[in-house]
Amino acid sequence: MTSRMPSVGGLTQTGGYVEAGAVRNADEWFRLMVETGLAPGLRALGLSGNGRHFRVIENAHVGQISILQSAKSSTYSTRFTLSLSVTATDEWASQLRIRPYTRAAGHTGPGWQERIGNLMLVGSGVPIGDLWWKIEAGRPFANLSAEVLTAVREFGLPAIRGQIRARVH
């Protein structure tokens, strides 16, 4: 007898895995997590955006959070991290016009840029460093989404706002 688990992202799961025919690989599962878990959560934190780029605009500056997926994925799992940046709005707009493709890849040009793991301090204030989360196709992702959103709320947004304040004053 197979136990049924609650629906995740509108998909019924059996024994922790998606039933056949729903989502077939890690890339699709990752996109589903971004669309149904991370994007709504980032918007609830006050950011706007879609896809894998979310921003907050304050004091003539754009703070952006980009969700970067590893190029090394398998059918069963993929990894991702967050890149944060702050750029003056006029510079941000001009870079978007000049180099839209590098902007889409998470490269922001002038301004401040940092990965989330370098902002997360543990122990006596030591950064975690290069932090990548792993998502497995078919596995529930609610806890993973919550962990990522907590990192943004506790470390990412305060760092972005601190960088904006430092550039304004």
Nearest residue to 131 via CA among 80, 85, 86, 84? 80
Is 91 inside a domain boundary? yes
In this predicted model, what pLDDT tens digit does every residue of 46-68 receive, in sequence order?
999 999 999 999 999 999 999 99
Residue 160 pLDDT more than 60? yes
Q: For tokens 């922001």, name the residue.
A: 108
Is 92 inside a domain boundary? yes
Is 117 inside a domain boundary? yes
Written as one string, the DSSP assignment of 68-113 is EE-S---SSEEEEEEEEEEEEHHHHHHHHHH-HHHHHTT---SSEE
Is 8 inside a domain boundary? no
How many domains does the chain contain in total? 1
- Residue 20 tokens read as 């056949």
Is 35 inside a domain boundary? yes
> Range of 141's domain?
23-168
Residue 168 pLDDT more than 60? yes
* Predicted local confidence at residue 145, as pLDDT: 97
Task: Determine contact, residues 29/138, Cβ cutoff 8 Å.
Answer: yes
Is 131 inside a domain boundary? yes
Nearest residue to 108 via CA among 162, 68, 153, 73? 68
Is 152 inside a domain boundary? yes
> pTM score, two decimals?
0.78
DSSP letter at 131?
-
- Residue 14 tokens read as 């059996």
DSSP letter at 139?
S
Is 83 inside a domain boundary? yes
Q: Is 14 strand, coil or helix? A: strand
In this predicted model, what pLDDT tens digit does every residue of 104-126 receive, in sequence order?
444 445 789 999 999 998 888 88
In this predicted model, what pLDDT tens digit does every residue of 4-56 receive, in sequence order?
333 444 444 444 444 445 667 999 999 999 999 999 999 999 999 999 999 99
